[in-house]
């Protein structure tokens, strides 16, 4: 690989990690559009066990997804929101590694291979 390509990939990787680590702290904790629509007709009530929905809405029938108890669930590490940026960086690294591995594996080979 030529030097300019490595330089581009290095700068690209740095920018991605800086964005993932920095912008993650600005993520809004309010419900996004889909959550807001499914919660129409309900009010969110804080209890000792967590949040509860009172009223009638679609979101009352929702369940947690399979990875909701995972180490990076809700863009935090172990449920600690102070680590949101680190969780963003880890997610970016995993995504870049998966995409890079996929592209490397599927690349068009030239020569006698």
- 77-101 confidence digits (pLDDT tens): 877 878 888 888 998 999 989 998 9
In a domain, 112, yes or no: no
Q: Of the candidates 86, 106, 108, which has an alpha carbon nearest to the alpha carbon of residue 98?
A: 106
Q: Of the candidates 109, 75, 95, which has an alpha carbon nearest to the alpha carbon of residue 16?
A: 95
Domain that holds residue 82: 3-106
In a domain, 91, yes or no: yes
Q: What is the rounded average pLDDT for all residues in the chain?
A: 83
Using alpha carbons, list the distances in angstroms from residue 83 to 20, 30, 32, 69, 107.
12, 18, 21, 16, 36
Residue carrying the six token digits 């330089």:
7
Q: In this structure, what DSSP letter does residue 81 have?
A: G
How many folded domains does the chain comprise?
Answer: 1
pTM score: 0.63
Distance CA 22, CA 20 (A): 6
């Amino acid at each position: 690989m030529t030097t300019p390509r490595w330089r581009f990939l290095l700068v690209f990787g740095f920018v991605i990690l800086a964005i993932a680590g920095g912008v993650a702290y600005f993520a809004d904790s309010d419900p996004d559009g889909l959550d807001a629509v499914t919660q129409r007709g309900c009010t969110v009530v804080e209890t000792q066990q967590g949040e509860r929905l009172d009223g009638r809405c679609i979101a009352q029938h929702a369940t947690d997804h399979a990875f909701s108890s995972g180490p990076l669930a809700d863009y935090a590490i172990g449920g600690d929101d102070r680590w949101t940026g680190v969780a963003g960086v880890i997610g970016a690294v995993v995504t870049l590694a998966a995409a890079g591995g996929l592209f490397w594996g599927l690349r068009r080979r030239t020569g006698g291979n």
